Amino acid sequence: MATVDELVAIKERVEQELLGRPGVTGVDVGYKEVGGQRTDQVAIRVHVARKTDDIPHEERIPEQIEGAVTDVVERRYELHVASVELDVSAQADTTHYGTLQGGVSMGPSRVIGNHIFAGTLGAIVIDNATRAHAALTNFHVAAVDSGWHAGDRMVQPSRIDTGVVPGDEFGAILRATLSGNVDGAVISIDAGKATSCSVAEIGDVRGSKAATLGMAVRKRGRTTGLSYGTVDGIAATVSVDYGDGLGVHTLTNQVSIAADTAHNAIFSDHGDSGSVIVDSGGYVVGLLFAGAGASTVANPISAVLSELDVSLCIGKSIIKDIKDGRKDFIKEKEFRKELRKELQKELVLDKRLKDVRDIFKDREHGPGPGPDPGPLGPGGGLEERLRAVEEQLSRLGGFVGPELRPDLVTPLTGQEPLTDAETGQLRAELEQQVAEAVAAKTEFDTPPA
């Protein structure tokens, strides 16, 4: 059976030919479905706008490609931004947040084609150039079309959700990108606006990591609120229509999310675009931008942060944990130093006890001054002096029992070597963690407003 990496390699070799077939909307590597139910078998999945048996033989997807199992799933992708005519009533999350955070309604101040738009502010980030706080969302939420400009003002909540211009404006577009990997935008935050490095109903952002098949995830969006899902596809290539002036764009290396129907029927809907997708530990894995029914697609967060030149803002409670962890680490190092000293003392005392016993053995077998009895000094009977030595030894031995003493010298063994793909992924994650650590230190050192 082919590995995930091998399936991804095969998919990349054939996806352009597959995407050129009529009705194909995407290709990825994910869990095969049988009778509408997900299986544990990983396959090359071809996404189509509509599944039907009425397809010419030469256009049908083969059951295997280069020995890899295939699957066909019905998915017609749409941007998950909400747009309505200017005079509609409020919908969804209409809360005016005094402190900006992830998971809340936002949108452009400008009117586009007599329509106003709503999406989600995904998370607070840090501009790597200026170290200022900013807001992360999608290109198509903030910029919308080809008529956008840096400096276009944003409002929270969106104008659909009772946001008022200019009273509820909070910032402006700094930069935006619609590339082969990322649909993203960064919004400045006006002076005096409070921010929190957290996502509503989820909590503090801890950092970022790569999405993996089967990973449990969550998001909080403007329309569907808090929802749960599972990463069911990786390395996805999808085609999405961005409308007049932009047309159809194809994005590669995307992440596919299936709804956890035990919690929610769908993972996202129109208005949830811009939400960050977070794992169960609070690490961001993706930026939501489109969906197809119960399925959602997201940009990998590492590509988003790199192209927009920002770092995730880490929650202060997490920074405190890191700082406390550093203190604990230092304490542990000091403990180990003291333990080494005490163990060395114990070895010395063992030797001295042996010397004392040898002395008394010699005296029992005959007279003679013998060597110096050691640190306890002369005097006292044999039993009394032995009890004193044994008492000292037992006190020291009770410092840390042998079963609790850490192995300070034996290295870790028996670990499987990393593959090239795992090494590359680990390197990327470590580089991102370094950037986030720098951002976290800046945030921790900055006094509260």
Per-residue tens of pLDDT for the chain, all 449 residues: 789 999 999 999 999 999 999 999 999 999 999 988 899 999 999 999 998 888 888 888 999 999 999 999 999 999 999 988 765 454 578 889 999 999 999 999 999 989 999 999 999 999 999 999 999 999 999 999 999 999 999 999 999 999 999 999 999 999 999 999 999 999 999 999 999 999 999 999 999 999 999 999 999 999 999 999 999 999 999 999 999 789 999 999 999 999 999 999 999 999 999 999 999 999 999 999 999 988 999 999 999 999 999 999 998 766 556 556 555 555 665 656 665 665 565 566 556 556 655 655 565 555 555 554 544 455 555 556 556 655 655 555 444 444 444 444 444 444 555 566 556 666 666 667 666 766 666 666 665 55
Using CA atoms, how far apart are residues 243 and 139, in angstroms rounded to an integer?
A: 13
Given the structure tokens 């490095």, which residue do they identify? 197
Using CA atoms, how far apart are residues 411 and 409, in angstroms rounded to an integer?
A: 6
48 and 18 in contact (C-beta within 8 Å)? no
125 and 161 in contact (C-beta within 8 Å)? no
pLDDT at 400: 45
pLDDT at 293: 86
Count the Cβ atoms, other than its own, within 10 Å of residue 343.
15
pLDDT at 385: 59
Residue 90 DSSP one-character state? P
Tell me which long-range contacts 442-449 makes (C-beta under 8 A, separation of at least 24): 442/126, 442/131, 443/126, 443/197, 443/313, 443/314, 443/316, 443/319, 444/316, 444/319, 444/323, 449/192, 449/194
Q: Which residues of 142-154 are buried (b: 16+ CB within 10 A; e: fewer)?
A: bbbeeebeeebbb
SS3 content of the chain, % helix, strand, coil (to 5): 30, 35, 40
In angstroms and rounded to an integer, the radius of gyration of the C-alpha atoms of the chain is 32
If DSSP codes are grouped into helix, strand and coil, which group holds residue 266?
A: coil
The tokens of 237 are what? Answer: 């290539």
The tokens of 144 are what? Answer: 């919308």
pLDDT at 387: 62
The answer to whether the Cα torsion of 48, 53, 54, 56 is positive or negative is positive
Please tell me whether the peptide bond between 166 and the residue prior to it is cis, using omega within 30 degrees of 0.
yes
Nearest CA to 180 among 253, 243, 244? 253
Letter for the amino acid at 135? A
Bridge partners for 241 per DSSP: 248
Using CA atoms, how far apart are residues 120 and 108, in angstroms rounded to an integer?
A: 11
Length of the chain: 449
pLDDT at 56: 85
pLDDT at 274: 98
Bridge partners for 79 per DSSP: 290
The answer to whether the Cα torsion of 132, 138, 144, 147 is positive or negative is positive
Letter for the amino acid at 233? G
Q: How far is CA 418 from CA 43, 211, 415, 422, 424, in A?
A: 23, 18, 9, 6, 10
Using CA atoms, how far apart are residues 354 and 259, in angstroms rounded to an integer?
A: 70
Using CA atoms, how far apart are residues 372 and 359, in angstroms rounded to an integer?
A: 8
φ/ψ of residue 425, rounded to 5:
-65, -40
Q: Please report which helix (H) or strand (E) contains residue 442, including its range.
A: helix 420-445
Q: How far is CA 219 from CA 25, 185, 248, 341, in A?
A: 24, 18, 26, 51
Give the side-chain half-sphere CA count within 13 A for 1.
8
The tokens of 121 are what? Answer: 């502010």
pLDDT at 35: 85
Those residues whose C-beta lies under 8 Å from the C-beta of residue 439, and which sit 6 or more positions away, are: 126, 128, 131, 311, 312, 313, 314
Using CA atoms, how far apart are residues 435 and 312, in angstroms rounded to an integer?
A: 9
Those residues whose C-beta lies under 8 Å from the C-beta of residue 362, and which sit 6 or more positions away, are: 368, 370
Given the structure tokens 């170290």, which residue do they identify? 131
Q: Please report which helix (H) or strand (E) contains residue 253, including its range.
A: strand 248-259
pLDDT at 318: 61
Using CA atoms, how far apart are residues 428 and 227, in angstroms rounded to an integer?
A: 28
φ/ψ of residue 172, rounded to 5:
-145, 160
